[in-house]
Structure 1
Amino acid sequence: MAQTDRHQHVNGIPEHKVADAGGAAACCCSRRMALITRFCISTLLLVVVLTVALVLTLGGPCKALECSDHGFLHKDGAPRITNGVQSTHKWPWQASLQVNNNHICGAVVIGNRWLLTARHCINVRWMQKLSVLLDTLNLDNQDAWRVGVSKVIQHPGENENNDLALLELQDPLDITSCSSRNVRPIALPLQWQRWNYSRCYITGWGSLHFLGPSQKSLNEGMVNIVKASECEMLGNDENELGKLCAGKPSEGVDSCQGDSGGPLVCEEREDHWVLIGLTSYGRGCGGSSHAVYTRVTSYIEWIRVQVQEDDFCDKGHSSQ
C-alpha cells in the first residue's frame, strides 16, 4: 500500500513548515518589543534627569517672590513724568486703571488679588467696565495683561483727606518664580514708619503738561519728599496726617492728570522698593508747587481690615 503524507498542507505548504515560520516570526517580534521597551525606558530616564537638572538650575519648584525684588532703577537716568523720562525698564507693580479699555488713572499691585488706587478715580457707575492693564510700558501693547476688577472698596472719608481705594481682581495674579509675566507686588511700609530715603520715584501715563493728553508710554520722575511745613499745598497742618508732599519744583518734575492713583515709591535698600504714597492732587503740573500724595503708612491698618487676610506685601520688610 502506498504511503501517504501525514502532514496536512496549508495552501500547498506542509503544516510543520508553516509552524516553523510562525515560531521564527514570533521570536523576531519578541526581540523587537524588547528593543522598543528598552528604548522607551531609556528615553523616560533621560527626561527625568533633564527635568531634575532644570529644576535645580532654576532653584527649585515655583515659589512666591519676595515683595518688590524685581524693581528697576535708572542708575544714570534723568528726571521726568512732567519733565521726566520715558521708562525703559518695567516697574512691575505699576498698573493702568481703565474704563472700557481706556486709561483713567494709575494703580499699584500690592498682592496677588489686590491693587491700590486713588479714591477720586472711582465712579460706581463704571464698575462693570473697570479693568487693569499690567506688564507693559506702552498702553498700545497687544501683549499686555488685562484683568477685570470684581470689587472696589473706597475709603469712607472725603476724597482729598482719605484718597485711596482697594481694587480686587476677578482672577488672581501669578506672581511666582515660574510666571512669564513681569508683575510683582510692591512692599507696603510699616505702620507709622519714618523714612529717610535718597531715591524716590513717581511713575504714570499721565499728561506731560496741564490739561494735556495722557501718554501711551510710561514716564517716571525722581522726586524729593518734603515736610508739610515746606509744602505750599499743605502748610504746617497737624490734621494732614494722611498726606505727604513730593516733587522737584526746581526742575519741574511733577505728577499730572492721569497719574492719579499711581505709585510714589522709595528704594529702602538696593533694588528693594517700598510704596510711600499714591498720587492724589496738585496745583497745575510742573510748576513751583509740590504735589500731594496719600500717605500709605497712615492706612496700613485700614488696608489690613479690608483685605481680611495676609494677602499683601508687608512681610520680610525691614525699617531703615
Structure 2
Amino acid sequence: MVRKLLLTRRSPARWLLAALTAVAATAGVLPGTAHAAENVVGGTRAAQGEFPFMVRLSMGCGGALYSPRLVLTAAHCVSGTGTNTSITATLGVVDLQSSSRITVRSNYVYRAPGYNGNGKDWALIRLATPVTGLATLPIATTTAYDSGTFTVAGWGAAREGGAQQRYLLKATVPYVADATCDNSYPDLIPSDEICAGYTAGGVDTCQGDSGGPMFRRDASNAWIQVGIVSWGNGCARPNYPGVYTQVSTFASAIASAAASLGG
C-alpha cells in the first residue's frame, strides 16, 4: 500500500524523501516512482476559480483552505506538531507558474494526536498571514454526505509513476462501501477511512495528491469536504480504490485544533 505522497504507507524514510523533493514540488514538478501515491489520473483540467480552496504545498502534497489561515492536509505529509516555517503554500491559481499565484509560508503545524501511520491521517498547517479573497472549504460534521459521487482535484501525477502537474486536474469518483473496500485492503480502518473509485480503475488520485480534499455538494449545493487523500495500491488500478481520511470522524477534533491555532 502506498501513500499518495511518494512513499510507502509505513515507510520511516518518507520525511527524508519529502525534504529532498520539496524544492521541485514548489515548482509543481516532481519525479515519478513506480508505485507512487495518488494524483488525479483520468482527470480533466480545472477552470481558474472553480475550486478556490485548493492548496499546493511545497513538500509535494495538496490541501484545502479550512480557514483564511489554516490548511487541512494529511498527517503523513508533515513531520509532527510544532513550529514550522519550512512549508510554502501556493493558492489562488490552477497554474502553479501563474504570476497571479499567492504564496504564503507556514509558521506552525498540528498533526493529529496519536498518528502512527495507521488512520488519523489529518493535519492542520497554520499560515504566517491569512489569505483573503479565497473561499474556504467547510468539512462534513456527520456521515450524511459520506456516499454518492465525489470530486477530487490535485496537481499530482496523471498516471502511476508520472510527473507532477503544472495545472490543477479534477475528476469524479464514486463511493465504495467499506465491506467492498476491505476486500481490496484488509488493513482498512473503516472508522477512520472512506474509499472511492471505480471497479475498473482508470480514475483516481495519485502521487502528489496526498492531503488534498475529496468533496461533494451538500443540501444547499455548496462544496463540503468528506475526505483527505491518504493512500492506495498504486494509482487507478482495477479493484483498488483510493483510500481517504473520513473527515466526519475527525470533525470535532479538527475544529478543536483549529480553535487552538487561532483559526
TM-score above 0.5: yes
SS in 2 for 1:303: helix
Q: In the alignment, does 2:89 pair up with 1:120? A: no
Which residue number in structure 2 is paired with residue 92 of structure 1? 52
SS in structure 2 opposite 1:128? coil
Counterpart of 2:8 in structure 1 is none
Equivalent residue number for residue 172 of structure 1: 130
Partner residue in 1 for 2:157: 207
Normalized per residue, the structure richer in helix is 1
Query: Equivalents in 1 of 2:165, 2:261: separation in Å?
Result: 35
**Aligned partners of 1:152 and 1:166 also within 8 Å:** yes
Give deviations 1:54-87, integer Å, cap 9, x for gaps: xxxxxxxxxxxxxxxxxxxxxxxxxx92011111
Q: 2:203 aligns with which of 222, 247, 253?
A: 253
Structure 1 distance, partners of 2:138, 2:220, is: 14
Match of 2:246 in 1: 295
- Bigger proportion of residues as strand: 2
Alignment CA distance shift 1:195-1:95 (3 Å): same
Amino acid at match of 2:234: G
Q: Structure 2 CA distance, aligned partners of 1:114 and 1:126?
A: 14
1:97 counterpart letter in structure 2: L
Identify if the C-alpha distance between structure 1 residues 305 and 270 changes in structure 2 by more than 3 Å, giving closer, same or farther: closer
- Partner Cα separation in structure 2 for residue 233 and residue 140 of structure 1: 38
Q: How do residues 306-317 of structure 1 correspond to structure 2 at under 5 angstroms?
A: 306-308=257-259
1:82 maps to amino acid: V
Partner Cα distance (2:54, 2:67) in 1: 12
Deviation at 1:194, TM superposition (A): 2.8
| 1:130-176 deviations in Å (ceiling 9; x for gaps) | 111000001111210111111000112222311111111111122xx
Contact 1:255–1:279 under 8 Å retained in 2: yes
What TM-score, normalized by structure 1, do the two folds share?
Answer: 0.64
Asked if structure 2 preserves the Cα contact closer than 8 Å seen for 1:197 and 1:267, the reply is no
Q: Does 1:153 pair with 2:91?
A: no
For 1:111, the equivalent position in structure 2 comes to 67
Q: Is the 8 A contact 2:152 2:213 kept in 1?
A: yes
Kindly indicate whether structure 1 or structure 2 has the higher relative contact order, using CA contacts under 8 Å at least 6 residues apart: 2
Q: Alignment partner for residue 186 of structure 1, among 129, 132, 137?
A: 137
3-state DSSP of counterpart to 1:297: helix
Q: Where do 5+ consecutive residues of structure 1 fail to align? A: 1-79, 313-320
Give the AA of the match of 1:170. A
Contact 1:234–1:240 (8 Å) recurs in 2: no
TM-score (norm 2): 0.77
Amino acid at match of 1:144: R
Structure 2 CA distance for aligned equivalents of residues 249 and 105 of structure 1 = 26
Q: Name the SS of the counterpart of 2:57 in structure 1.
A: strand
- Deviation of 1:235 after TM superposition, in Å, equals 4.7
C-alpha deviation, 1:233, in angstroms: 3.9
CA distance in 2, matches of 1:209, 1:114: 30
SS of the residue aligned with 1:308?
A: helix
Shift of 1:308: 2.4
Q: Quick one: structure 1 residues 112 and 245, their matched pair in 2 at CA, closer, same or farther if it must change by over 3 Å?
A: same
2:212 matches 1:262: yes
Alpha-carbon separation, structure 2, partners of 1:269 and 1:197: 13
Matched, 1:139 2:89: no
Structure possessing the higher radius of gyration over alpha carbons:
1
Unaligned runs of 5+ in 2: 1-38
Matched residue, 1:130: 87
Of all paired residues, the percent bearing the same amino acid is 25
CA distance in 1, matches of 2:94, 2:43: 15
Tell me how far 1:310 sits from its aligned partner: 11
